[in-house]
Amino acid sequence: MSGGFKKNIRIRAPNVLGTKISVENAQFLISTGAPDFDRVIGGGLAIGTLLLIEEDGSKSYSNLLAKLYLAEGLAVGHPLFVASLDESLDKFVSNLPSEVQMESKVKESPQPQQSEDPDLKIAWRYQHLPTGAPNASDKPAEFGHHFDLSRTVSAEQLGAHKITKWSEVDTKRDEFQDDNLPEQLKSLLASIVKELTDNDCWIKSSVPANEQPKQRTVLRVSLLSVGSPLWKMQEKHLPAFFYALRSILRSSCAVCLATVPTQSLESHVKSRCRHVCDYCICPSPAVHVDGKVNPLLSGHNGVFKIHKLPVINSIAPFKPETLDLGFKVRRKKFCIEKLQLPPEVAESEEREQDDVVQPKYAMDFTGCGSMTSKKLDF
């Protein structure tokens, strides 16, 4: 008769390149390429999730976020997969912003010279400790980088990384079978599955403590203007495509950023796409009315709207400090700040109405709440 004793084996967490573990839900997070963007969505994008960015009229800010997302992948060494039927992918990738090289503020201290006098000894417990300043390799990797939007990456940097571009329909790939999707979307899903297999990004069983875990990587997928007229699809195909894509991401070390021209979609299709995706945001530019901008948006390029955040390993999604957010595009930074009304200093008729007129009957009252005297009567 066998007993109920079972040996407890400690399981090591996998080593994933360019990630950090969230303290909220213990999920692996990657950076979006904009530290302020990471802050308002809970620290970063969780692995296996889908981010939906609703495009504005000119697609300038949605494309900027996609470029920062891909540039962050170049900075940390993630393989990239870019797909579009509207943009020239060679031109889009060549215009990725370059990383800002931050100067080290802490100067390396000189290592102390070891004394050759045999009579000078230290305690036995400190004999095997390393001496001198710590090595740069011992420091944790930086999470989230800043990029110079006025400079682009060099051709040598692009050639050193693996970047897969998808812009044509490959009818030979029929690994992904789905009668509800057109040929373009089935070919795109099959190409993503192939990239996940080639980069060994599928999630596998945990590694026991006695085995050294192999370093894994994250596939960054970027889909530009999905659902535009050039894709030649019906509106019902777009939510079905995102549903199939999310099922693939859930079982892999990959994150997808998709931009969608929601202005040309029906309201029910837009709501279904938001429901299927994990994150949904919209960088809306500032609207000029009669040559003037809303005072609330003074100094900002637009409003940063958050429509949806995921619920992963928790009972409620991450809740930012406020949802009234605005964004600024600077030379070396994409800033997201809280919107605040400017102080009203100038005198106006509206401010004169704020003055409280003392009623005549206030003279009959005495005590602590008397309105005729500035002093308190006790």
Residues of the chain above pLDDT 70, percent:
68
Cα separation, 284 vs 315, whole angstroms: 30
Q: Both tokens of residue 226?
A: 């999905």
The CA-based angle 257-283-326, given to 5 degrees, is 130
pLDDT of residue 240 exceeding 70: yes
∠ at Cα 205 (202, 211), nearest 5°? 115
The whole-angstrom separation of Cα 57 and Cα 201 is 35
Q: pLDDT digits over 253-264, tens only?
A: 999 999 999 888
Classify residue 262 by its DSSP letter.
G
> What b/e sequence results for 171-203 when a residue is b if at least 16 CB atoms lie within 10 Å of its CB, and e otherwise?
eeeeebeeeebeebbbbbbbbbbbbbeebebee
Using 50, 70 and 90 to split pLDDT, how confident is the model at 107?
A: very low
Angle 249-255-260 (CA atoms, 0-180°, nearest 5)?
Answer: 95
φ and ψ of 166, to 5 deg: -120, 120
pLDDT digits (tens, 9 = 90+) for 154-180: 999 899 899 999 987 655 555 566 667
- Summarize the confidence of residues 320-347 as an average pLDDT: 79
Mean pLDDT of 217-241: 92
What's the whole-model pTM score? 0.77
Looking from the CA of 179 toward its CB, the CA atoms found within 13 Å total 0
Question: How far, in Å, CA of 122 to CA of 304, rounded?
Answer: 59
Q: How far apart are CA 277 and CA 100, in angstroms?
A: 32
Q: What is the mean pLDDT of residues 188-211?
A: 82
Q: How far is CA 237 from CA 82, 180, 194, in A?
A: 20, 7, 22
For the chain, list the strands marked E by DSSP. 11-12, 20-21, 28-30, 45-46, 50-54, 80-84, 97-99, 147-152, 163-166, 207-208, 219-224, 254-260, 279-285, 288-289, 292-293, 302-308, 325-329, 334-338
- Average pLDDT (309-313) is 90
Say which residue, 129 or 265, is predicted with more confidence: 265
| CA dist., res. 131 & res. 376, Å (int) | 69
Give yes or no for residue 32 having a pLDDT over 90: yes
pLDDT per residue over 47-93, tens digit each? 999 999 999 878 889 999 999 999 999 999 999 999 999 889 999 99
Asked whether residue 344 carries a pLDDT value surpassing 70, the answer given is: no
Task: Tell me the per-residue pLDDT of 132-156, one tens digit each, with 9 for 90 and over.
Answer: 544 544 445 578 888 998 899 999 9
User: Which of the four pLDDT bands, split at 50, 70 and 90, describes residue 286?
Assistant: confident
Q: Which residue has the higher pLDDT, 377 or 138?
A: 377
Tell which CATH architecture fits domain 13-100+141-353: 3-Layer(aba) Sandwich (3.40)
Asked if 272 contacts 307 with a C-beta cutoff of 8 angstroms, the reply is: no
* 131 confidence band (pLDDT: 50, 70, 90): low
